[in-house]
Amino acid sequence: MKDSTITRLIYFLKKENSTNLLPIIEKIIDNKRINIEEGLSLFNTNSLALLSCLATIVRQKKNGNNVYYIKNVHIEPTNICAFNCKFCSYSQSKKQWDLTLEEIIEKIKTISNDITEIHITGGVHPEKDLNYYINLALEIKKSFKNIHLKAYSVVELDYVFKKEKINYKKGIQLLKDAGVDSIPGGGQKYSMIT
């Protein structure tokens, strides 16, 4: 481990008055698995700097200085949303958009030769149903068979599954069958507009 990383770690520990976390940190440095209670203690520190320092230690141990990335296209079908999360620029945008399926396919076409992933997240449109999400995935996979489709945030899925009164397992299976390969994280319900 680099000396500068250790110095930063000690600095953040003292600054945040988090020396009680030392036993957990020693386990991480020694490549030992932490348990759920220890994970929760880290979660509750509120020190992003300390956590990022620990994450850097683990990353450097696993991958050294190698960095991996993918090239993707990010599609946001709509910014119309049933929610109003504080940090979201959508909810503050005055200009609303709602792309058609054709517009989405056209956007992807322009760079499809140069990407390995299509990433789709958008607002939680209150009028869209599960069929909309399924059809979008089917149409995209029909046109771009070999590109990984990472689509729909958990907030969108949670909303539409509840609306359709189906459980998560069934809903996720329907989307997988339609061609969704994985889902992104992110999104937070702050307060309802509608």
Q: Which is nearer to ligand SF4, 122 or 179 (CB)?
A: 122
Helix (H) or strand (E) holding 19: none
- Footprint on residues 99-158 left by ligand SF4 (CB under 6 A): 123-124, 155
Q: Which is nearer to ligand SF4, 4 or 89 (CB)?
A: 89
Task: Write the binding mask 55 to 84 for ligand SF4: x where contact by CB under 6 A, - elsewhere.
Answer: --------------------------x-xx
DSSP string, 112-144: GGG-SEEEE-----TT--HHHHHHHHHHHHHH-
Q: Which is nearer to ligand SF4, 60 or 126 (CB)?
A: 126
When asked if residue 187 is in the footprint of ligand SF4 (CB under 6 A), the reply is: yes
CB atoms inside a 10 Å sphere around CB 53: 20
Q: Closest approach of Cβ 137 to ligand SF4, in Å?
A: 19
- Contact assessment for residue 103 and residue 120, using Cβ atoms and an 8 Å cutoff: no
Strands of 148-151's sheet, edge to edge? 72-75, 117-120, 148-151
CB atoms inside a 10 Å sphere around CB 140: 23
Helix (H) or strand (E) holding 119: strand 117-120
- The interface region with ligand SF4, picked from 32-40, 65-73, 86-94, 136-144 by CB under 6 A, is 86-94
Q: Would you tell me which residues interact with ligand SF4 (CB under 6 A)?
A: 81, 83-85, 88, 90-91, 123-124, 155, 187-188
